[in-house]
Every structure is written in C-alpha cells, then in structure tokens.
Structure 1
C-alpha cells in the first residue's frame, strides 16, 4: 500500500516564506524515499491547499495563481476510522481524492504551525507527526516561558524584562526604568517569533523606544534583555525523544553583524537553500569543554520541555569568559538543521526518514495506552441529576 507522507508548511506567519523554503528542501531530499509526497500548504489567510502544483518552488512567485491552481483540502476519517487527507475537486462530475495518511512532516516556522496549534489538530485526528508535541511546541515558541523554565532548572539565561503592548501604553515610564537597570545596550525581541524578525540591538533609550514600536507590529508580547558583549553565538541540534536523545556537533553562525539577522539567514544570493545558505563554522571553533557543556545543556533543555523529533538550540556565549546562556529553542528549525547532522554522518534524506519513523513509533506507543474509560456517567441516574440541577435554576 502507498505510504502517503503529508508535508505541511506555510501558514499565517511572518516566517511563511522561510517555511516554504524548508518544505521544498525536504520534498527534494525525499524524492527517492518510499513515501508518496502530498503537500499541505496553508496560505497566509489560513486556507488549506494540496495538489501537484504545490511541489514546484517557482510556482510560489505568484501566490494568487498558486492557490487557484491548487485544490482545497482537509483532514477527516474514512469509514474504517483511518485519518485521511481529502483533496476537494471542483466540477460537476469530479470526485474528491482521499489519501490515507502515514505521517505528517511538519515544516512550519512560527505562529500557528510551530506553536502547538497544528500539532493539536494532528492529535485530534490521531495522526503521526514529526517534531515536538503540543506542550514542547508551545513552550518553545514562548521565549519568556522557556527561559523561566530553564532558570528554574538551573540553566543560565540572560537578565531581562517582558511586557505586553497594553502595559507599554499604560506604564511606559515604569517599564523604561526596569530596562535602565539592565544597562545598555539591550536587545528587543518579540516573544513568539523566530528568524530574528523584530529583533534589534539598542544602544540607548531612544533607539529602544523605536525598536519596541516596530516589534509590536509582529507580537503583542516583547522581551528586552541585556546584550552580551563580546558575543559568540553557538547552536546545537538535538534529535530523539525527551528521554532518549542525542546532540549534534555545535556550530558558530557568522553574520555581517554581531547578532545574526534575518538577512544573514535568508536573503543571500543562495537564499533558496534556506538556513543552509548562511555562513557558519562547523564544528564550532570553541574549546572541546565548552562544546561538550553546550551539548549536555541542549539535551537537558530538550528533555525539560518534553520535546521530540528534532530541534535546534541557540546559546549566547561571552567570548571573553566562555560563560554561556540559553537563548531559544527552535522546535522546527530552518532546513531541519540538516547541515549539523551531516557532520555526524547523517544525510538529509536519512535525517528526515529517521524523524518520520520516530513520529510513527511515538504515535504507536501512545495508541498502545488505554485511550477510553468505561463509565456509567451518562446513566439514567446521572441524567436525572442534571435535570434536577436545571430545575433548581
């Protein structure tokens, strides 16, 4: 029987285009795999589409034409209770296409695709999917919650303060006083975004206020942290389950500025390669002891957040002291961080197939548990009790 692999990507997110790049890379890498690739593209307005037309990156240059050529789609169950992807065909005599889902490869970045919402949809339909579950995805997307958990577990994080847009409007002076205590320069970050969108290093209060106003265009919740200087960014990927995982080699990404920007990551001449196009040193040119400590900490955070599948963890290192701080976790990293695992002897297609097998295995273990609880809660006696409550109103 054909194994239909749904590659899900896009979404209503500032990182929409980055997600498309990651998905196209994955589809290309899986060209000779045993799976039949079925694209699930979520447009910027939230509508779901599928169809062969979505498999060509060039077609994404005209999104209006793209969605007209594609078919709308949705998840449902067939008469056997199997999860299926239904492609809705237009035309009086056209019949919808139905594909039994083997697994979903999630290739979203940011917003509802990476924050646990789409993962929750898969859980509702009992569909295997790659990457972290609802909790790990949600925590990973929330920088404030993630850092609070790390701090409680003894994992170092940079000092900072967070606030919402309504607080900024009502209590701006108090917030600025708290930020002043951090000492400039500071960094402004949207709490729920990645890809360095809305991130700005601010040397003074005037620059800060401008950066805050810009960042609120993307997120209603902001985080301001003390800027580490001199700074070295070090990243590490982790793969497996929260109880059994392994770390990749570390990398030192290189940008035109001290802090890696969206432009450094994705707007290069070879941007079609996604994160794989950015300059980096692999393995990172740091002492073995520091590399080992960051790898161990990466696995600890992965387990703490109950993550699974694959993630990339980013750290900030004080170059002159080698003290390092957890910065963020990307539960669906750009290009799936395949370039880090390549150094460990795992090719991109092998990496993706391992993630798919892990997703299916995790799903089977979950379904092996008792998923229902027999009870007579809806018995006649219970129904009478409810009627009695209504009568007392």
Structure 2
C-alpha cells in the first residue's frame, strides 16, 4: 500500500521556534514505519517556507544558515482539478526537477505566533487541506489569553482577576493601571497576552519589580496582562482531545518547577534530555491530588475546550489554591509542546496512536466541512454585467 503524504508544518516566526522544531521531530520519529510519508514544511525565523530531507534530522538545526541553504523553497499549489500539492519552487540539485507532493493532510506542530494563532490554519482552509488542531477561531482565541478568559468566564468557568492593557495605554496611564493591579495585592503575575512557553512571564513582589516586569514583557508583545496570584499555588494541567461537541480528557499532571510559576527553563531545559521538548520537564503523572479534584479539573477542561471551539488536541492549564482546592482556568495551548503525548501515554494511548487519532479527527472535520453547501448558484454577475458598471455604482442612467 502506497504511503500518504503527511506534511508536518513547524518552525515559524515565533520566540517558540526551537520548541516547535523539537515537537515536529518527535512526531516524525513517532510515525516511522507508519502509513505516512512525512514531508517537512519548515517555516524559518524570517518566514521562508522550506522542505527537504535534511530538515528531518534534528542535529542539522545546530547550524540554521547551513540548513536553510541546503533546503528547498516550497509552497502550496492547486492543480486544474483543485487538488492541493506541496511543490518545491526549485530543484534539489543542478540537474534535478522540482518535486511535487499531493497533500493527504497537514500535521501542525507550530508553537506561538503565526503558526498557532489561526493564520496558518487560514491558509489550510483557503487551500481546502485537512489539518490537525483547532480551526481559525479556536486557534486565535486560544492564543489570546484575554479573549480566552472572557469566553471562559462567560461560560461559568472561574478565572483570576486581571487587568490588560496595550503599550500605548501604559505610556499614558501607567499610574492608573498600577493602582488597579495593586488592588489585587502583591505578588502579581505579568504576562504577554499572545505568547506561550512562559516567555516574558514574571512575578512582581512590589511596585518597582512590577514596572520592570512590564517593561521586559513589552519586548515580546504589545498587549499584556497583570493577574492576581493564587497563593499557595498548585498548577495542574489536563489535555483534551476531540471536537467541541465530542471530546475527552487525559489524566492530569502536576508540573514541578524551581520557581513558583513555571519558567521556559523548567518546561524545556529541565529533567533528562532537553532535546525531548516538553516531555523532558519534571512532573507528577497522574497528579497526586484527590480523585474528586481530578474529576473537577477534567470536567472544567472539556467544558473550556468546547467553549473555545477547540479541536484536535489541546492542553489546558489550571491554577489551584493548594489550601482550598479552588480551581481557576489559566490558559489553553491549542498545540501543546510534544503534543502532550506523555499525558496520553498515561491514559493508555501511545504517541503514534495519538497522532493517528489527531489525523483522523482532522480528516473527519474536513469531510464534514466539504459535505456542506459551499457555493450558491446564482446569475447575479450576469445580471450586473447587463446593467454595466453604472448599475454597479448605483448611478442613474
């Protein structure tokens, strides 16, 4: 049986670029020997689309410039029948012709920015390609911490109090914004609104450290959040897989960090083997919490997943007051590091099986979309053509 071309899309113009590379290579490795022929679609830090066999080897990413020079530019194209291909824009060698791969589906392995915020998903929608993960709306909501919390709160899901503002607001109303935030009492949490992997996140224990944290976070995003802290804090995460109307939770995990809130280093450079991405972080799985609390978080996770219109697989992070067991939705990661496979392995699903389920969901969603009426037969343009350009402008003859 011939293999199906699975385009694995990763990289991107994002501070989480390297994490995305790790996730993609992990997935490609897990799919070795499967029915899929994995075709890499690597988006460079400058936004170029590249493909080529050297992109399949993690060791080649030590020298990005060399790797880019040894790879081939590519793009999605359609033939006269409407079938989509990933086509090389040049040959791989002096005498070789550009290759063209019919696309069976796309496995999205981006983290952050244009790859995870719905923009790449929009490209797939325009090209009518099946792709894993959330759609345009679910992806964009998930990337925006402010909008995600608003939707969660509107659906009765508890969230912590917060004030959000843009850089222009900070320049004009700094004292007023600080006054509002200080009503929550210190410590306070400063976060970029549209980044993940804890990049730019800081704890402020007083006014001076708050100002420093805000100024630092503005290096990464023009829109920030200052949140009240949960104290004493216990972080619990849960992955959810499926569609808004049919989803299931994984076991819960309790991440362990060196600091009160998990840093980028805690998530990706701790544990054994930093090349394992999110899978290398220190954590307790299943989380050592009461069964009642586990079930409560799992219910909140699936409810939030559905409310945000997520699809495929996501990881939802919760803040728990360790004394009272009060639970607050923190954020959703619509393409979590390492696809949170470590949570699903503890739920009885191996990484390769998890990826196959994600692809199956993508194909089902795609088929459902194409099963709807997607065009409307009308002679509107013919009528307008008879009236001429004056009629289109609404002018009188």
TM-score tier (shorter): over 0.9
1:199-258 CA-to-partner distances (Å, cap 9, x unmatched) read 001001100000000000000000000011100000000001110010001000001112
Query: Which residue of the partner structure matches residue 22 of structure 2?
Result: 21
SS in 1 for 2:65: helix
- Aligned match of 1:360: 363
CA-to-aligned-CA distance 1:107-129 (integer Å, 9 cap, x gap): 00000000000000000000000
Q: Aligned equivalents of 1:100 and 1:383: distance in 2?
A: 41
3-state DSSP of counterpart to 1:192: coil
Give the structure 2 partner of residue 266 of structure 1.
268
Q: Which of 333, 347, 350 is matched with 1:347 structurally? A: 350
Of 278, 289, 299 in structure 1, the residue corresponding to residue 292 of structure 2 is: 289
Q: What is aligned with 1:206? A: 208
Does the Cα contact within 8 Å between 2:198 and 2:264 map onto a contact in 1? yes
Which residue in 1 is equivalent to 2:137?
A: 135
Runs (4+) of structure 1 moved beyond 3 Å? 90-94, 380-383, 388-393
Q: Deviations over 1:136-171 (max 9, x none)?
A: 000000000000111111100000100000110111
* Residue 43 of structure 1: aligned partner: 44
CA contact (8 A) 1:51 1:87 kept: no
Partner residue in 2 for 1:320? 323
What are the within-5 Å matches in structure 2 for residues 1-393 of structure 1?
Answer: 1-90=2-91, 93-268=95-270, 270-381=273-384, 384=387, 386-388=389-391, 390=393, 392=395
Q: Deviations over 1:302-358 (max 9, x none)?
A: 111111100000000000000010000000000000000001110000100110111
Q: What's the secondary structure of 1:37's corresponding residue?
A: strand
1: CA distance between counterparts of 2:295 and 2:113? 32
Q: Which runs of 5+ in 2 are unaligned?
A: none
RMSD (Å) for aligned C-alpha atoms? 1.4
Cα distance in 2 for partners of 1:265, 1:299 equals: 23
TM-score, normalized by length of structure 1?
0.98
Q: Is the 8 A contact 2:384 2:391 kept in 1?
A: no
* Higher deviation after alignment, 326-335 or 173-182: 173-182
Measured after TM superposition, the shift of residue 388 of structure 1 is: 3.2
| Structure 1 residue 389, shift from structure 2 partner | 5.1
- Looking at structure 1, the residues matched to 377 and 94 of structure 2 have their Cα atoms a distance apart, in angstroms, of 45
Question: Taking structure 2 as the reference length, what is the TM-score of the superposition?
Answer: 0.97
Q: Secondary structure at the match of 1:182?
A: coil
The answer as to whether partners of 2:269 and 2:281 remain within 8 angstroms in 1 is no
Query: What stretches of structure 1 of length at least 5 have no aligned partner?
Result: none
